[in-house]
Amino acid sequence: LERQIAEAVPFERIDGHLERGLLSAVTVSTTLVKSGRTVVFVHRREPGLPPWSHDPTISPRATAIRAEHALASSALPILFRPVNIDGELYCDGGLRQNVPLSPARRLGADGVIVVNPRYIEPASAAPERDAPGFPGPLFLLGKTLNALMLDRIDNDLARLESINGILEAGRRRYGEGFVDGLNEELGLPPGRSLRPLRSLLIRASKDIGSLAAEFVRSPAFRARTTSVLGRVMRRLAEGDEQREADFLSYLLFDGEFAGRLIEIGRADARARHEELCAFFERALSWGGAEERVR
């Protein structure tokens, strides 16, 4: 996996995109193993770091984002070994990152598009199922990973919407200067001030855990995967909990399966085309740009 990412992803192109103004900044969140603190690696056009939170559990570090940072951010403990960066060991950043939208806010974003791969089945569409037996440890591990990695996105979005609602209510009640006056009264500097932050949530339209189980049970996967890990994955997919094999989706680094997920992502984006265009057009209008989003 390390070799594939290093060879397939041209991380050095981030430098050029920053220089040409195509990007303002890129961040990657990790967990420093020795302390358990969240470390946010920041790669941006301007030198140094923007004003950041005083939260002692989160530390920003300026650097050029490369393959090792991406690998560290996805190194789930027990499943993958920590990644050494400048003599320190780092693992998955979702373990302690309670506010995953915070880096975007600290970098000055006025809007965020949030992609949550967790599928939520509509209550009206949920079929009646027999009462399951006691769930196995791998089933529970998959649900735990979902809670650690994905539930916090929804929680942070709910917090964001609550803050937006309070600021908008204050603006309507006390006038356009309410937000600036509130920040002044609280003594918050520009980098940490309260301000509205637009958001657009795109959620996966299919259950990725179920798709992973279906793919692992396919003849094509069986034919080309003869390793011990492949056999273990097939056993997991064929067990009693095959309908919700969330744990498999965290292990399935397969090109064909990734291609299927990419197509689902494209379809989900096309289904929200008008909303996405409106989101970016509003951003362009704020920036004084005349080019329309197509």
pLDDT tens per residue across span 77-95? 877 899 999 999 999 988 7
Domain termination residue (choose one: 54, 76, 97): 97
Give dist(CA 31, CA 255) in Å, integer: 27
87 exposure class (CB count in 10 Å sphere: 0-12, 13-18, 19+): exposed
Give dist(CA 182, CA 91) in Å, integer: 38
Angle at 66 between CA 262 and CA 84, to 5 degrees: 110
Phi, psi torsion values for 38, nearest 5 degrees: -80, 130
| Structure token pair of residue 167 | 């600021």
pLDDT of residue 193: 85
pLDDT in the model for residue 238: 67
My answer on whether 189 and 135 are in the same domain is: yes
User: Does 105 reside within a domain?
Assistant: no
Q: What is the pLDDT of residue 294?
A: 43
State residue 47's pLDDT score: 87
- The residue count of the chain comes to 294
Residue 292 pLDDT: 41
Position 38 scores a pLDDT of: 93
Count of domains observed in the chain: 2
Whole-angstrom Cα distance, residue 189 to residue 214? 51
Task: Please choose, from the candidates 106, 199, 105, the residue with its C-alpha nearest in 3D space to the C-alpha of residue 161.
Answer: 199
Residues 282 and 145 in one domain: yes
**Is residue 168, in this structure, part of any structural domain at all?**
yes
Whether 188 is covered by a domain: the verdict is: yes
In whole angstroms, what is the distance from residue 76 CA to residue 94 CA?
Answer: 9
Task: Say which residues have a Cβ less than 8 Å from residue 200's Cβ, sequence separation at least 6.
Answer: 111, 112, 113, 114, 272, 275, 276, 279
Residue 251 domain-assigned? yes
Give the 3-state secondary structure of residue 134: coil
pLDDT at 19: 94
Of 49, 68, 97, which residue is a domain's last? 97
Q: Is residue 102 part of a domain?
A: no
Task: Supply the pLDDT for residue 53.
Answer: 78
Same domain, 188 and 45: no
**Do 39 and 130 fall into the same domain?**
no
Identify the segments of the chain with pLDDT beneath 70.
123-141, 148-149, 226-232, 235-244, 285-294
Residue 72's closest CA among 40, 115, 114?
A: 40
pLDDT of residue 287: 52
- Same domain as 117, residue 93: no
103 belongs to a structural domain? no
Same structural domain for residues 93 and 128?
no
Q: Do 286 and 253 share a domain, yes or no?
A: yes
Tell whether 157 is covered by a domain.
Answer: yes
Pull the structure tokens for residue 85.
């960066």
- pLDDT score recorded for residue 94: 81
Percent over 90 (pLDDT), the chain: 44
What is the pLDDT at residue 134?
58
| 143 and 267 in a common domain | yes
Same domain, 87 and 179: no
User: Domain of 52?
Assistant: 1-97
